[in-house]
Amino acid sequence: MCRNSYFHIVNNDYTHWEVYTIAGSSNPTINSQGNRYLAPVNHFAKEVTRRVVIGSKIWRHWNWRSEGDLMLNGAYYTPIGRGAVANYARDMLLRSLVRLAKVLSRGTLLLRSSVRGKGKLLLRSSVT
């Protein structure tokens, strides 16, 4: 819980949260930078941030920013205050998809070059 101060959250890997990962109350300034947020399967637990107050009249003047964070599996960060970006979730989703496409394309090229001339390749998904 971030309260009454400045918090700089850098280079963390958040993968198993139940409701949210970052909570704040009492006017904190929170900068999230270079973190990886992998949301759980629960549709109601995809939010990275939580404001622990009664209404938006209070928290809309706080400063919560995110820069270079990777949002996966529907995770979203709601920035507020100075420096917050409109349409942040959509922008980060697009950036995350571009990064994922680059990683997958590199893996595919590596796979193709390593199995060339080896016959059929059978791939099975480990996801059930």
Q: Count up the domains in the chain and report the number.
A: 1
In a domain, 9, yes or no: yes
- Residues paired with residue 66 on neighbouring β-strands, in sequence order: 32
pLDDT in tens, the chain (128 residues): 777 788 889 999 999 888 888 888 888 888 899 999 999 999 889 999 888 776 777 777 788 899 999 999 999 998 888 765 544 455 556 667 777 777 676 655 455 555 555 555 555 545 54
| pLDDT at res. 87 | 47
Between CA 7 and CA 83 the distance in angstroms is 15
DSSP-assigned states of every residue in 92-110: HHHHHHHHHHHHHHHHHHH
In a domain, 120, yes or no: no
In a domain, 23, yes or no: yes
In a domain, 31, yes or no: yes
**What residue numbers bound the domain in which 79 lies?**
2-95
Residue 44 has a CB neighbour count (10 Å cut-off) of 7
In a domain, 121, yes or no: no
In a domain, 108, yes or no: no
- Residues paired with residue 33 on neighbouring β-strands, in sequence order: 10, 67
In a domain, 47, yes or no: yes
| Complete edge-to-edge strand list for the sheet that includes strand 22-25 | 2-3, 22-25, 49-51
Is residue 15 a contact partner of residue 38, using CB atoms and an 8 Å limit? yes
* pTM across the whole model: 0.60
